[in-house]
Amino acid sequence: ILARHWWQEAVVYQIYPRSFQDSNQDGIGDLQGIIRHLDYLKKLGVDILWLNPIYASPNDDNGYDISNYQQIMSDFGTMADFDELLKQAHVRGLKIMMDLVVNHTSDEHHWFVESRKSADNPYRDYYIWRDPVAGHAPNDWQSAFSGSAWQLDRQSGQYYLHIFSKKQVDLNWRNSDVRQSIFKMMNWWVDKGIDGFRMDVINLIAKPQDFTSTATSAISAVANGEHVHEYLREMNDAVLSKADLMTVGETPDVTPLDGIKYAGFDRHELNMIFQFEHMGVDLDPELGRFKTHPFKLSTLKAIMSKWQTQLGQKAWNALYWNNHDQPRVVSRFGDDRPAYRVLAAKMLGLVLHYQQGTPYIYQGEEIGMTNAYNFKTIDDYQDIEALNGYQDLVSTKHVLTPEQAITALQAQSRDNARTPMQWDATANAGFTAAGITPWLGLNDNYQTINVAQALADKKSIFYCYQRMNQLRRQYPIIIYGDYQLLDPEDEQVWAYQRHFEGQTLLVVANFTTQTLIRTFSSDLAQAKLLQSNYEDDAKTTLRPYEAKVYLY
Ligand code: ISL
Ligand code: CA
């Protein structure tokens, strides 16, 4: 029997502070706004709040470009507000997990301000500088936000590396001073009493020595580089092992074998990782989010089941459908039409949370918020990925028409996740006061989809999520049971079993609008129906988007 850890039993709720609750009528969510809703989150029954970056930042990428790791972004409040939030969370038994963005800093961070002053500045080697090659950038790497991953600095004639925007400059982790500075900063937060770190693109930190790789995507070129595990063990020794923290690494481009290296129970690196394979099922190999494809349920099942079984007893999964970089899952893998939205959102929640791993709920997921179809022109979008991609593919390269690009953005843009939280049916959805313009447009369905409505309706998605969180505390099989996929070829139904100490949990979910017949086990006569998204049990019949969880 493996050691049991609190972070395996916990449920995480992700807050995008900019879009959660504005408390001072400037149209931007803030820390006091979060404090206002702690009781709501407690009622939902989550254990840990992960906050997207709240540090000082010029906001080229909404806080993922940090100019001071030990200051609070003025839009969000002050350090006193943060201390109060931490205290108020802890009083309620809620933990706080901070976003740690240490693959890159803002170009306005003082390390980079120094670094770019001259080639012999003491901070020069904090970043990755290279001479031009034949008058051009050192290689063809493309940044994640369009264009070259190299930016020429005219003053010194050298290029610096930026995997994301040119205001997000990649740190040089080969330099031990960089590592020590980061660990010191992390310890400062740990000493404040925070409970964990979500580590942004942590598998990209180890860059090659020379840049001759022929890959074009900078992310895939640097992912899982040589020395990455040494750096993480060093971090573990210097920071993570010193307190009872929870850690999750964001890791694009990983296989389950990589996952076991980052998050293996015996590896002394991270507790778990966010893998991305299931987030790629509907994307285009060339155009990514800018062109979407239908996908087969069997593919989605195969990917997620592979992660379930291959991590198995060796490492721990992070379970997620949504975050601030992904479209809304009910629109993406479910069905957001009024007749089906509630059923489909509950079904997706049940299918995910009964797998093995720590579940993450992204703000608004618990009320079934949808993609923003009311965003109709590029002017409605704010996200740097959307704006740069549109510029590149529509205006410069003419690969897409404006209509095609907007269709893709409506389906996949990160702004789908970032529209303000829908608290009630009043003007501005209760996110900010009436008459104020929110920093990003609201989804125009807030009069029907909002927290007040959900709390007033005992059959809402909110109460389904609340029940899942309660059952998780009562039944160890939900946390520790192993996972077995049934009927992998079935394109309509996702069914799996969990096994633990002689018990079996059976999860069955109909991903279609049709009524289907399926039989899974003769033992069901004695089985207990633990949870479902319909009022009664129609036994072998599966109604549209019906999901059932049996225990026997
Ligand atoms: O969303 C993506 C592109 O479609 C991903 O490639 C994303 O950029 C990648 O997962 C890294 O994400 C993280 O780091 C980025 C930041 O923009 C994201 O918000 C963050 O989650 C750079 O810091
Ligand atoms: Ca505000």
CATH code at position 163: 3.90.400.10
Ligand 2 centroid–CA 80 distance in Å is 15
Lookup result for tokens 């950038």: 137
Q: HSE (CB half, 13 Å, CA atoms) of 21?
A: 15
Lookup result for tokens 């931490």: 86
Which ligand sits nearest to residue 164's alpha carbon? Answer: 1
Closest residue CA from atom 23 of ligand 1: 64
Give bridge partners of residue 532 from the DSSP assignment: 548
Residue 366 included in any domain? no
Closest residue CA from atom 4 of ligand 1: 289
* DSSP E strand stretches across 267-333: 272-274, 283-284, 288-292, 318-319
If you write DSSP's letter for every residue of 40-70 in order, what string do you get?
HHHHHT--EEEEPP-EE---TTTTSS-SEEE
Q: Three-class SS of residue 503?
A: strand
Ligand 1 centroid–CA 164 distance in Å is 8
Boundary residue ending a domain (125, 151, 169): 169
Q: Which of 14, 164, 325, 360 to mutate to test the pocket of ligand 1 (most atoms within 8 A of CB)?
A: 325
Ligand 2 centroid–CA 30 distance in Å is 5
Output the pTM of the full model.
Answer: 0.98
- Catalytic site residue 250? yes
Residue 258 included in any domain? no
How many residues are present in the chain?
552
Question: 3-state DSSP helix/strand/coil percent for the chain, to nearest 5?
Answer: 35, 20, 45
> pLDDT means per 10 residues in the chain (552 residues)?
83 99 98 98 98 98 98 98 98 98 98 97 98 96 97 97 98 98 98 98 96 91 97 98 97 98 97 98 95 96 98 96 98 98 99 98 99 98 98 97 98 98 98 98 98 98 98 97 98 98 97 96 88 93 97 96
Residue 156 included in any domain? yes
Lookup result for tokens 């740069």: 388
Q: CA angle at residue 498 from 496 to 499, to 5 degrees?
A: 140
Which residue among the candidates 195, 250, 282, 336 is catalytic per the annotation?
Answer: 250
325 lines ligand 1 (CB under 6 A): yes
Q: How many distinct structural domains can be found in the chain?
A: 2
Residue 451 included in any domain? no
Which two three-digit tokens encode residue 239?
Answer: 């920071």
Closest residue CA from atom 1 of ligand 1: 325
Look at residues 537, 487, 543 and name the one whose alpha carbon lies nearest to residue 515: 543
The separation between the first and the last C-alpha atoms of the chain, rounded to the nearest angstrom, is 22
Boundary residue ending a domain (139, 169, 199): 169
Closest residue CA from atom 6 of ligand 1: 144
Alpha-carbon span 527 to 530, nearest angstrom: 9
Q: What is the span of the domain harbouring residue 517?
A: 475-551
Closest residue CA from atom 16 of ligand 1: 64
Q: Rg (Cα) of the chain, in Å, rounded?
A: 23
Closest residue CA from atom 2 of ligand 1: 325
99 lines ligand 1 (CB under 6 A): no
Ligand 2 centroid–CA 89 distance in Å is 19
Look at residues 358, 357, 348 and name the one whose alpha carbon lies nearest to residue 547: 348
Distances (CA, A) of 17 to 12, 53, 55, 329, 417: 15, 8, 11, 20, 12
Distances (CA, A) of 100 to 205, 246, 271: 12, 12, 15
Which ligand sits nearest to residue 16's alpha carbon? Answer: 1
DSSP state of 174: T
User: What are the two backbone dihedrals, phi and then psi, of residue 248, each rounded to the nearest 5 degrees?
Assistant: -140, 130
200 lines ligand 1 (CB under 6 A): yes
Closest residue CA from atom 15 of ligand 1: 64
430 lines ligand 1 (CB under 6 A): no
Alpha-carbon span 235 to 500, nearest angstrom: 34
The residue type found at 79 is M
User: ipTM surpassing 0.95, yes or no?
Assistant: yes
Ligand 1 centroid–CA 325 distance in Å is 6
* DSSP E strand stretches across 334-411: 358-362
550 lines ligand 1 (CB under 6 A): no
Which residue among the candidates 200, 269, 325, 546 is catalytic per the annotation?
Answer: 200
Which ligand sits nearest to residue 75's alpha carbon? Answer: 2
Residue 516 included in any domain? yes
144 lines ligand 1 (CB under 6 A): yes
Q: Which of 51, 97, 165, 201 to mutate to test the pocket of ligand 1 (most atoms within 8 A of CB)?
A: 201
* Minimum-distance ligand 1 atom for the alpha carbon of 101: 23
- Chain centroid to CA 119: 37
Helices marked H in 19-135: 31-36, 38-44, 79-91, 110-115
User: What are the two backbone dihedrals, phi and then psi, of residue 533, each rounded to the nearest 5 degrees?
Assistant: -110, 10
164 lines ligand 1 (CB under 6 A): yes
Q: What is the pLDDT of residue 236?
A: 98
Alpha-carbon span 413 to 308, nearest angstrom: 28
Boundary residue ending a domain (120, 140, 169): 169
37 lines ligand 1 (CB under 6 A): no
User: What's the CATH number where 538 sits?
Assistant: 2.60.40.1180
Closest residue CA from atom 18 of ligand 1: 325
Name residues whose C-beta falls within 8 Å of residue 333's C-beta, 6 or more positions apart in sequence: 300, 321, 348, 511
170 lines ligand 1 (CB under 6 A): no
Which ligand sits nearest to residue 436's alpha carbon? Answer: 2
* Minimum-distance ligand 1 atom for the alpha carbon of 219: 6
Which ligand sits nearest to residue 31's alpha carbon? Answer: 2
Residue 486 included in any domain? yes
Ligand 2 centroid–CA 435 distance in Å is 14
Lookup result for tokens 């190299």: 150
User: What are the two backbone dihedrals, phi and then psi, of residue 276, each rounded to the nearest 5 degrees?
Assistant: -115, 0
198 lines ligand 1 (CB under 6 A): no
* Minimum-distance ligand 1 atom for the alpha carbon of 325: 1
Ligand 2 centroid–CA 188 distance in Å is 26
Residue 498 included in any domain? yes
Alpha-carbon torsion 341, 345, 348, 351, what sign? negative
Alpha-carbon span 166 to 145, nearest angstrom: 9
Q: What is the dihedral of CA 105, 110, 111, 112, to 10 degrees?
A: 70
Ligand 1 centroid–CA 517 distance in Å is 41
Residue 489 included in any domain? yes
